[in-house]
Amino acid sequence: MSIKKDKYYINLANNLAKSSSGYTGPNPSVGAIIVKNDKVISFGSTGSSGRPHAESNALKKISKTKSKNSTIYISLEPCSHYGKTSPCVNKILNAKIKRVVYSINDVDPRTSGKSFKILKSRKIKVTNNLLKNTSKLIYKNYFYSKKKLKPYIFGKLAISKDFFLKDKSKFYITNNESLKTAHILRSRVNCILTSSNTINDDNPKLNCRIDGLSKNSPFIAILDKNLKIKKNSFLVNNAKNNKTFIFYNRKNKDMIQYLKFKKIKLIYTPLYKEKLNFNFILKKLYNYEISSVLVEGGKSLVSSLLDKGYFNEFYLFISSRNLKKKGILKMKNIKSILSSKFKKTILNETYLDKDRLIHYY
């Protein structure tokens, strides 16, 4: 197979990986293409929960007779360790595939570079590092989380045209198109992080309310130093339907008992400079297989995390409306702060009617 053909099929595998990016739980989104006699005979991508893996999904569609002497193209190095499923390397060997081509090495120490050695030792032809720069972009979030042992953090904020965060007369500042886009952002992360102040002020649902995406509603993490969250809030009363964490410091026995009864996971958190230790919180979330977080908080939380450089990317929704005297909580300098924190920006207003969306990364 020529290098040109190899790149063509790896590009197909990469496109499969991109199509499921953000929807495969704690596992990376992978694409796999099986080719024989220069024809695609099967393909697969990672399952919505992170399993089955792409290679398994591609192989189970065809018989061992068909897979024998074929080539499999994969966007990421196949796993070689035993986890909740058996290694994909073993499945490739059992399928009698004669050649493996993958775009980039995994950074997971349980697999990184090991699959290459295993396959070569079994006389399988292996080619790697094809379209590597494309794959680096696909796996940017995953690689960051695996290397740093903490989640990749997105920020999101909505402001009026004249920089207010709230409207005295309406709950939402932005239009329906912006709201739907925000729900899509929620669907592509493992967890939403907010504060009890935001919950007590706004009583948000923080789920995905778009047809077809409700099953992708992320976990909820709440910062509540003194356990002041309102008992009648939506998130407290619906915690049994979605995994919810509360990070706290003040021990209130009655409140702890009540929140545990509501099926909330309570995590006692040490303080750092009189605030909940955010590094501790990120490590805990990572230990619960949360690799991506979307912060949806108010002015205080967002400003604090921006100041300390915690955000990896940020989405700023800007309404077409000026609120004037109806506006509450102004952040006039938010655009200049974001511009100073991030190297690149993308302005997206194609699908948002008159609203604007600036993506900082």
Which residues are annotated as catalytic? 55
Which residue type does 328 have?
A: I
DSSP string, 213-246: TGGGPPEEEEE-TT----TTSHHHHTGGGS-EEE
Local structure of 164: helix, strand or coil: strand
Phi-psi region of 50 (alpha: psi -120 to 50; beta: other; left: phi over 0): left
Strand 327-330, strand 71-74: pairing: unpaired
Local structure of 292: helix, strand or coil: strand
- Helices in the chain by DSSP H: which ranges? 3-19, 54-59, 64-67, 88-94, 114-121, 132-138, 140-148, 176-187, 196-202, 234-237, 253-261, 278-287, 299-307, 334-341
Tokens 């080719």 appear where? 35
C-alpha 206 chain-centroid distance: 15
Strand 191-195, strand 219-223: pairing: parallel
What whole-number distance in Å separates Cα of residue 276 and Cα of residue 248?
7
What whole-number distance in Å separates Cα of residue 292 and Cα of residue 299?
21
- Contact, 318 vs 310, CB < 8 A? no
Instruction: Select from 195, 209, 212 the least CA-distant residue to 295.
Output: 195
- Contact, 101 vs 9, CB < 8 A? yes
